[in-house]
Amino acid sequence: MIYLEKGMIVLKLIAIAFVITKISEVIDTINEMLKGFKRALNVLLSKFNCLMCVAFWITLIYTFDFPLACLMALIGFLIDNHLLKIKL
């Protein structure tokens, strides 16, 4: 049981590190949104195509748990960039 809790802590820390490495994309998005309403709407709609982004924001809004939102973003990234590209 203790190993499971420590494993979850490790997963959450890896997920937080993953989100921190992607922070430049978030800053670029915010800068684009500040340029005007129409531009902001286009940026928001373009982010709905990114499973990582949608998983992060929905989890954060629903649970207010940042480490969990980071973990969901990491899982979304892995699904979007690796699992969906596997040909069976």
Give pLDDT tens digits for 5-44. 777 777 888 788 877 777 777 677 667 767 777 776 676 6
Between CA 47 and CA 33 the distance in angstroms is 12
Task: Count other C-beta atoms under 10 Å from residue 13's C-beta.
Answer: 13
Domain residue ranges of the chain, discontinuous segments joined by +: 2-85
Distance between the two ends of the chain, CA-based, in angstroms?
36
- Tell me what pLDDT residue 13 has: 80
pLDDT in tens, 32-78: 767 777 776 676 666 667 788 888 888 888 888 888 888 888 888 88
Q: Are 76 and 55 in contact (CB under 8 A)?
A: yes
Smallest CA-to-CA distance from 32 within 19, 13, 45 is with 45
pTM score: 0.59
- Tell me what pLDDT residue 41 has: 66
